[in-house]
Amino acid sequence: MLAQPHRSSFSRRGFLVASAAAGTGLGLASGPARAATRPRPFGRFGSPAARPTPGTLYVHPGGAGDFTTVRDAVAAASGSGHTLVIAPGVYRQTVAVDPSRTEMTWIGASEDPRDVVIVYDNAAGTPKPGGGTYGTTGSATTTVQADGFTARWITFANDSLRADHPGITGTQAVALKVQGDRSAFHHCRFLGHQDTLYADSMALGTFARQYFAHCYAEGDVDFVFGRATAVFEHCRFRTLNRTDLSAAPYGFVFAPSTAGANPLGYLVTGGRVSSEAPDGAYKLARPWVPSSDTTARPMLTVRDTWLGPGIDAVAPYTDMSDAYPWQSMRFAEYRNTGPGALVSVPENRPRLDASRAASHTRDTYLGDWRPCA
């Protein structure tokens, strides 16, 4: 995403392992999280001694599994159809699932996403050991390029903070970049600040379908963005406070970059958008038309969703570039509620009628793919 100049912000990092409601700082020390001392670190998902399938691999930071890191487990899981059962712990590492490792599943063994945290702190402007910087894509803590990927009860995080690196202007810091088709995330968390969740595809002409159910994402600038066809069902989004800024907007929840040839972009349904920032400090969305695809026509439909007071109800959309006004893009709403959904300036709130809304559903967006619950 495009960089914006910022003064230093945020001294806290504890939100990355605290529950969204806790609001207190917990450290990101490496090693087991609070549930690692349970007598059955892999819960109901077997163990190395009771492996349900040959393709099931176990990750435990203290050595009770097949591997102590997620990265090593992925490297060993060549081919298709592997399952990683991950014991509670904070795994400070970058992880990449390349296109050859298809149909892979990651399971947080405690069935609580707060217990399994995969986190690193690269930003776009972070210097690379061999020279240059990582860029937005390279900043990702976890990158998933393979088709058929599923994750359950995992936290994906990037804890790079602007205040820690005042000399870095490229503050985009991706927690998860997912590019594969048929990618599903259930009860997962995506934590960061700018560019937290990058829901994208492998190439401009590739339409990747992704499904996020009962998930939680938080951030500030464009923290859900990309060109995938992505459905966010019963998900929660939370905008963070910005002590480094003196005036709104503090940021933008969504920044889709849907290809012009793709009839379907982002769908948010049955969700909730809350904020710890002042009322009206955030825009709901702005369109991203990247320099690599100036024909993009970003698409976002938000329906049956509660929009809290943190969203600017008068003008919830804005431009990222004057050359590509949001009014020329594919933004729409339907039956939203809450103070951020109040319609006071109708021309600023593009809305669907019931007949058009009937085509903006999970099944329409995902086509012949039906991710399991």
Is 181 a known active-site residue? no
From the list 115, 147, 222, 312, the catalytic residue is 222
- Which amino acid, one-letter code, is at 176? L
Would you state the structure tokens that stand for residue 199, as one six-digit string? 């829901």
Amino acid found at 311: I
Q: Minimal CA–CA distance to 352: which of 330, 372, 322?
A: 330
Q: How far apart are CA 211 and CA 7, in angstroms?
A: 35
Q: Does residue 222 have an active-site annotation?
A: yes
Is residue 141 classed as helix, strand or coil in its secondary structure? Answer: coil
360: nearest Cα among 303, 275, 288, 322: 303
Catalytic option among 121, 147, 159, 195: 195
As a whole number of angstroms, the distance between CA 80 and CA 277 comes to 44
Q: Quick one: DSSP state of residue 31?
A: B
Structure tokens at 116: 């399994």
The amino acid at 321: S
DSSP strand E in 6-80: where? Answer: 56-59
Instruction: Report which of 153, 264, 127 is spatially closest to residue 201, judged by C-alpha positions.
Output: 264
Beta bridge partners, 199, equal 178
Alpha carbons 158 and 195: distance in angstroms, whole number:
10
Element (H, E) at 135: helix 135-138
Pairing of strands 299-303, 266-269: parallel
Catalytic sites, residue numbers:
195, 222
